[in-house]
Amino acid sequence: MRYDAVVLAGGRATRLGGTPKPGIRIGDASLLDRALAATAEAGLTAVVGPEDTVGETGHPVVVTREDPPFGGPVAGLDAGLRALARPGAPDWVLLLAVDVPGAGAAVPALRAAVAAEPDADGAHLVRGDRAQWLVGLYRRTALTGALAEIEPHGAAVRRLVAPLRLVAVPDDAGTSDDVDTWEDVSRLAARHAAGDAEEGEG
């Protein structure tokens, strides 16, 4: 399955005292490094954030920004899709928020979900009764069509995806848990450390 990816990395991080989320480390890798690892099989990844967000990387990456900045996730997605537009672009786009360090584990399940439902416009995780739209795989034409119907700046993701036919993929393991506070950083770092230790023992 061919797909591009958009990583949303340009929020204000207010609850983290303004510390940029992409550089926060969870274990031995930054949040951005983990997001880029999750998009490793993408044809091209657009990172939506400040120009200095991405350093050297082994993946094909373009950095872009919504205008004006801090327009929210829908505006960021719009900017990312514009940066990815090119002849022969894949039909699918993986959408990830940079603050979800476990997102890489969800990619196989998202791919399987859209493969099993060929008429769907995409798939996203659901944690309990909460939709996690920012960990999802979407049909590019469905996203661009929905974006054409709204003003992206400041729009809610719920409004963007409302007309789409989406498959909900249960997230029982907490793959979509995100980093909003320093307590989240500590909790998820401990989780990833435990996971790495289990892999080492195996």
User: Helix, strand or coil for residue 40?
Assistant: coil
Q: Which helix (H) or strand (E) holds 136?
A: strand 130-139
d(CA 199, CA 47): 30
Residue 72 CB coordination number (10 Å): 18
Measured CA to CA in angstroms, residue 139 lies from 59, 69, 70, 146 at distances of 22, 25, 25, 11
Percent helix, strand, coil in the chain, to 5, is: 35, 20, 40
pLDDT in 10s for each residue of the chain, 202 residues: 999 999 999 877 777 787 888 888 998 889 999 999 999 999 999 999 988 767 666 678 999 999 998 999 999 999 999 999 999 999 999 999 999 999 999 999 999 999 999 999 999 999 998 999 999 999 999 999 999 999 999 999 999 999 999 999 999 999 999 988 888 888 888 887 766 545 455 5
Q: Which domains does the chain have, with CATH numbers?
A: 3-201 (3.90.550.10)
Measured CA to CA in angstroms, residue 162 lies from 54, 157, 176 at distances of 32, 8, 20
Q: Which helix (H) or strand (E) holds 83?
A: helix 73-84
Query: Considering the entire predicted model, what is its pTM?
Result: 0.91
